[in-house]
Structure 1
Amino acid sequence: DGGREPVVEFSDFLPMMTGDATVVNTELEVLRSVSLLADVVTQANLTADPEFNPALRPAGLSDLAINGALDLIGVPPAPPLATERIERRAMTATIASLRDALIVRNVPDSMVFEIALETGDAEKSATLANLLAERYLVRQLETKFEATQRATTWLSEKVAVLEVELETAEGATNQFAAQMELISAETLDILSQQLKEVRDRIAARQATIDRGDSTTRAQGRIDQLRVLEAELSEKIARQSQDLVALEQLEREAAASRQIYEYFLGRLKETSVQEGIQQADARLMSAAMVPEVPSAPRPTLVAILSAALGAFVATIALIVLEARTATFRTADALEMATGLPVMGQIPRIPARRRQNVLDYIRQKPNSAPVEAFRNLRTSLFMAGDAPVPRVIVSTSSLPGEGKTTQTLALAHNLTGVRDKVLVIEGDLRRRVFQDYFGAHDTPGMMQVLSRKAKLDEAVWRNPDLGFDVLFGDEAPANAADLFSSRQFRQLVRTARKSYDVILIDTPPVLLVPDARVIGRLADAVLYTVRWDKTREKQVLQGIRAFETVGVQVTGTVLSQINARGMKKYGYGQDYGNYGTSGYYQS
């Protein structure tokens, strides 16, 4: 029957390797298993190899340092371990080292496994890889042999039980047949025929009697036939039951024999398999002793090191650039702030502040002075906007050149404006005296306290062409002073007397003075030092003005270094600021 399955298949006892992913992963783990690696360790005596047994390696500096420290503080050494425990720890550590050195992978879309070992010796690596493959194949044979032995043992026990059951069934059949009369289906047919004949004779004689031809003798004969009929009927019924029971016993005996013969055949097959076992895997190629070490590879290491160094350097430069984020071009400054760059001022070659104004007066055609003229043009001829009269100059931090820029712009404005006033709004530092020297005129506080009039307090120098109102030490907070009604009145008075008022204010990120004064101004110039002021600082300063409703008019990129521009590759865009001979310096 093609729909029936055999009771027991040989593969139930000996599963074969298939290409299923689960089987592949299982075999990969078998190749890395502790039991298989333990066989390799034992056969290769790796516990005696310092490369695999850490206990045989010389103590490192860290171990010596720890032991020395323990000795110094008086910690007694640990008691010696039992030999068995030492051997067990050595075996465990060696297996772990071997597993770390082992590389096993499955070739994609195949049942091929690659085995590799990385050691300090080429021949050792090849030997251990071959030994591991050999032990893996032997393990497969041993596993199959053990499975076959288990199958043989089980089948032997099963056959013995089935043999007893068969003998019992056949004995019961024979015993039952011996106790009964010789019966069969043919015998029952004969008895049934005899019963039919008896019944026919009874019917014939009964018909004769019914016609009135009967005699006493005929009636007696009918009675005899009826007795015979009853005996035959009883005998047929009894033998039919015995025949059914006998056939049942024979069927049970036949079934027991069939099962017994099946398992007996499987037992013989299994016994034969014990001598012809083969591993599911085979060795395709043995490991060869490598000619070139897998690591380190000098050429590859050099290439990777160079690439890594370049990558790290690039990342470092990017990070450094991102952290500093300074401005080297007007385009970058305008893009970051969204404000127009009103001027780009080169560094003035004057070491001391008192020499700055001398340089501006003596070199009217120099690059810095020409840059201030450009700043003046941008500020006072910006489209249809009204000409600013009160201009605030500020920056993010000190040292960005806003004061020099304020004074230079004032000097430049004297050529186009009749009267220009510069107010020192940085009352904390008061650096104007570094530019102009000592003076005996009253300061801003004298004007605010009405002890002096504005025209009495300003300092005039015919060489410069503009007036200066010096700041002096304020008894109150400077921001409060600039918020006062008196200072607003001072600005209104200055507007009546001067064409342009320039107010030099402190850095906006340090004190709020510039924001307070900015509310009285027509324009706010925000100075940004070239390659120095960070983008974050500039944006914070501009936002600080916006919080009080003051809009910064534009920015000025100051103290530009001509050589630095060339270094960063911007020299062609901005010229050499006087070094090319275009400007007379």
Structure 2
Amino acid sequence: MSRHLPPPPPGSYPALVRTSSLPAHMSWPQAAAQVEPPGAEHVSPFRLLAVLREYKWMILGITLAVSAPAVFAISRIPATYEATSLVMIDTRKASFRDLQATVAQADVDAVGINTQVEILRSHGLADSVVQQLHLTDNPEFRRAVDARPLVGRLVAEVKGLFSPVAPPKPLTPYERQQATTGVLMNRVSILNDGRSYIITVTAHTGDPQLSAAIANAYVSTYLDFKRDLKIQAIRRANGLLDTQIAPVRERLRKAEDAVEQYREQNGLVAAQIGPDGQGGTVADQQLTQLNSQLVTAQADLAMATARYGAGHAGGTASAPEVVASPMVQQLRSEEAQLGSRVASLSESFADNNPTLQAARAALAQVRRQLGAATSDVVTSSRKEMVSAQARVDSLQHQITELQKQVASESHASVQLKQLQSEANAARNIYQDFVGRLEQTSSQAGLQESEADQIAAAQAPIGPSGPKRTQYSALAVLVGLLAGIGAALLRSRVTQGVRSLAQLEALTGLFGLGLVPSSQGGPMRHYRSGSTGSIYVDAVENARNLMAFGQDRFRAQVILVTSAEPGEGKTTFAVSLAANGGRDGQRTLVVDCDTRQPSALRVAGGAAAEAKHGIVHDVLPGVDVFTFASEARERGAMVRVDELRQMLDQMRPIYETIVIDTPPVLAYPDAAVLAQQADGAVLVVRWNETRQAVVNAAMRRLRAYDVRMLGGVLTQVDLNQLGAAEGDMVRYHAHYNRKSLAA
């Protein structure tokens, strides 16, 4: 049932004060400065799904364009076969560990394992495998060597456009050998996981038998190299030892004879001669003992001095020795008990009380005994300090006398020590040579490699690559992501307005509502009297704001304009009036677009009726007035005084008057005629009208000091709204279904 709203009482609409709809604390430049860049709003999952739906064909096209060539190229990749041989590094077969002249054993650590890995990866070892397997004659390797890289072919093609290009020069046998070695190194991977002694040697070729042969040849060549290295080391060590041991022995004999002769000549009798032939004199030994005793005596003196000093620094009563004395502790305990007794008796008796006097006498006696005990402890500490000082002085005197004796022997001792050092060096060298000679006499262990092949490579049954299914799926995924990224990028660079929040931030206008796209125009929704239409409810929301909202939104005469043509301003103007007629009001649409009047056609009137004057009941409760006489003939806008007179006549008759004007950027009609209206509404086409265009329209309207009621987004795609506005649409649809079911 239609709602019949009574006409508003006089004075219920605000006066025609030319103010904007900005908040009181914000100026237009401040509002413009708060405009968010396109895409700056939060991208919700609903918005993402809307973008995907909108650009689904572009996403599909990009996905196919990226993935189809990739899948085709993947399908053309030849199959490869992978064979792996395992090598374990082992040092237990060597019969010695300190032979530094021979090859050093590989320590079982990261450095040693990495060294063996690098040996396996070396160019020389790969070159030996090429020669062993005659890979220079293998068809697969010849194709790889003769193939020209893509960049080289492109460069040759470009050069051929300007001058003739000579055919490539054939490779020499040495160049082909080196090129084949490079190809082989690219097709063999040698790895260690860092947690074991196992090294994996894996070969990748197009022939399973060839892959296994290469992996096994790598391991056998490596083991032969290690074995040959040891044999060569043994030979070098034996030759070196044979030529050097006799001179070293003679050098040792001469050095030891020189030490003994010098000791006898200078009378340097050693107190004790060690196994190395060295020893100190008796004076040296005595001086060492006295120095040790002096250190101990000085430590005792320091402790005694510290104890005595602590007692004097903090008072004798607090000295550590005093505090630790059992006698002092007992007397202090008695003193505390008697003090407590005296204090207790003093509270109960007078000073002449015999019991109190006896207690005080006992307390005085204990304190005298405590003082005497404390003095005894301090005296004992001082005596201990004096005794320690005398001990230190005595030892220092003995050391001084002994140092004089040692000084006389110092020059000869220095020369003796030098001779002993030379003898010791000669002895060490001789012992090292003897030990090496004994070690090289046993060569059985040295002739074994320090590594073992624990698993020989076998020819694989099936190909190991390429993984066409995974690679194809990855290519499709990359293409899909590229398509989605392109869709999101296109959506973000779109300069249109997509939400009321963005419209408010861009223009400072209050968002009056979102009007969805509609087939059939106002006639479909208002002439048939349909209910539950989201289009009608959206226009109704905007009209309610201008009828019952705050004073800054209320208006009887409403001017509707847009920035440019095609934004749906006339359809919104007619729908706004039709919503009032639907509720039982009398509404009037004034078509002030003298150049292209269309309000009557949009409302459903006959085209022949589009002449100057009023047409009644074009829609229920809606009349249309068209300015189309002399103004149309001269291509000018409606005269201001003519519009003012007409509005003065119509205000008492109609509850709502909607003025439709040309786009504000095309003609100044809207900005000029808005002076006769209660307020203006700017219609913006959703996601189409560029933000720069909307800003330009607002600058023109504000230049004329137009009172703006708000802005409306028209032709909205409800499936592509953001989270908040999309929720509003879903709530409306859900509630409308429930009301219809009820």
Same fold (TM over 0.5): yes
Q: Could you say what the CA RMSD is over the residues aligned between the two structures, in angstroms?
A: 5.4
Question: Residues 155-554 of structure 1 correspond to what in structure 2 (within 5 A)?
Answer: 155-159=241-245, 161-162=247-248, 165=251, 169=254, 259-260=429-430, 262-270=432-440, 272-273=442-443, 276-297=446-467, 299-301=469-471, 304=474, 311=481, 315=485, 318-319=488-489, 322=492, 333-334=499-500, 336-337=502-503, 340=511, 342=513, 344-349=515-520, 362-365=527-530, 367=533, 370-371=536-537, 374-375=540-541, 377-385=543-551, 387-395=554-562, 398-413=565-580, 420-424=588-592, 437=607, 459-464=613-618, 465-470=623-628, 472=632, 496-499=648-651, 500-504=656-660, 516=671, 520=675, 522-527=678-683, 529=685, 533-534=686-687, 537=690, 541=694, 545=698, 548=702, 553-554=710-711
CA distance in 2, matches of 1:519, 1:503: 9
Match of 2:126 in 1: 37
Answer whether contact 1:430 1:472 (CA < 8 A) is retained: no
Shift in alpha-carbon separation, 1:372–1:69, aligned structure 2, 3 A: closer
- Once the two structures are superposed, residues 28-63 of structure 1 have per-residue CA deviations (whole angstroms, 9 ceiling, x without a partner) of 333222222222222122222243344665789998
Per-residue deviation at 1:463? 4.4
Shift in alpha-carbon separation, 1:99–1:536, aligned structure 2, 3 A: farther
Answer whether contact 2:145 2:176 (CA < 8 A) is retained: no
CA distance in 1, matches of 2:730, 2:437: 97
Per-residue deviation at 1:135? 2.0
CA distance in 1, matches of 2:514, 2:446: 97
Instruction: Compare relative contact order (CA 8 Å, sep 6+) and give the higher one, 1 or 2.
Output: 2
Shift in alpha-carbon separation, 1:362–1:430, aligned structure 2, 3 A: closer
AA at the equivalent of 2:694: G
Which of 208, 211, 223 does residue 137 from structure 1 map onto?
A: 223
1:126 is aligned to 2:212: yes
Per-residue deviation at 1:462? 2.8
Match of 2:103 in 1: 14
Shift in alpha-carbon separation, 1:403–1:258, aligned structure 2, 3 A: closer
The SS at the match of 2:128 is helix
Match of 1:48 in 2: 137
- Once the two structures are superposed, residues 346-398 of structure 1 have per-residue CA deviations (whole angstroms, 9 ceiling, x without a partner) of 5132xxxxxx6766775344758845762564343343435213434345664
Answer whether contact 2:547 2:554 (CA < 8 A) is retained: yes
Answer whether contact 2:574 2:589 (CA < 8 A) is retained: no
CA distance in 1, matches of 2:718, 2:117: 67
Answer whether contact 2:682 2:712 (CA < 8 A) is retained: yes
CA distance in 1, matches of 2:141, 2:219: 19
Match of 2:186 in 1: 100
CA distance in 2, matches of 1:128, 1:518: 92
Per-residue deviation at 1:267? 3.5
Per-residue deviation at 1:295? 1.1
The SS at the match of 2:544 is helix
Answer whether contact 1:421 1:469 (CA < 8 A) is retained: no
Shift in alpha-carbon separation, 1:409–1:23, aligned structure 2, 3 A: same
Alignment identity in percent?
24
1:75 is aligned to 2:164: yes
TM-score normalised by L of structure 1:
0.60
CA distance in 2, matches of 1:560, 1:403: 19
Per-residue deviation at 1:467? 1.4
Answer whether contact 1:389 1:522 (CA < 8 A) is retained: yes
Answer whether contact 1:105 1:115 (CA < 8 A) is retained: yes
Per-residue deviation at 1:299? 4.9
Shift in alpha-carbon separation, 1:66–1:260, aligned structure 2, 3 A: closer
CA distance in 2, matches of 1:558, 1:299: 45
AA at the equivalent of 1:399: G
The SS at the match of 1:422 is strand
Where in structure 1 are there 5+ consecutive unaligned residues?
Answer: 1-7, 178-183, 186-244, 350-355, 442-457
AA at the equivalent of 1:102: V
Match of 2:269 in 1: none
CA distance in 1, matches of 2:154, 2:107: 55
Which of 532, 551, 558 does residue 715 from structure 2 map onto?
A: 558
Shift in alpha-carbon separation, 1:125–1:523, aligned structure 2, 3 A: farther
The SS at the match of 2:195 is coil
Answer whether contact 1:101 1:119 (CA < 8 A) is retained: yes
Match of 1:219 in 2: none
67-76 vs 493-502, greater mean Cα deviation: 67-76
The SS at the match of 2:446 is coil
The SS at the match of 2:451 is coil
The SS at the match of 1:282 is strand
The SS at the match of 2:177 is helix
Per-residue deviation at 1:141? 2.6
CA distance in 1, matches of 2:249, 2:472: 78
Answer whether contact 2:496 2:691 (CA < 8 A) is retained: no
Per-residue deviation at 1:297? 3.6
Answer whether contact 2:144 2:183 (CA < 8 A) is retained: no
- Once the two structures are superposed, residues 514-567 of structure 1 have per-residue CA deviations (whole angstroms, 9 ceiling, x without a partner) of 9946975654445455xxx328846973796389487662424437689x9xxx
Answer whether contact 2:513 2:539 (CA < 8 A) is retained: no
Per-residue deviation at 1:310? 5.6
AA at the equivalent of 1:101: R
Answer whether contact 1:424 1:430 (CA < 8 A) is retained: yes
Shift in alpha-carbon separation, 1:336–1:67, aligned structure 2, 3 A: closer
AA at the equivalent of 2:528: K
CA distance in 1, matches of 2:466, 2:421: 79
CA distance in 1, matches of 2:238, 2:190: 35
- Once the two structures are superposed, residues 452-495 of structure 1 have per-residue CA deviations (whole angstroms, 9 ceiling, x without a partner) of xxxxxx5322343131235759889xxxx99xxx85x6776565
CA distance in 2, matches of 1:514, 1:102: 81
AA at the equivalent of 2:218: L
AA at the equivalent of 1:502: V
The SS at the match of 1:110 is coil
Where in structure 2 are there 5+ consecutive unaligned residues?
Answer: 1-96, 266-414, 505-509
AA at the equivalent of 1:555: V
AA at the equivalent of 1:388: A
- Once the two structures are superposed, residues 167-190 of structure 1 have per-residue CA deviations (whole angstroms, 9 ceiling, x without a partner) of 9x49x99xxx9xxxxxx99xxxxx
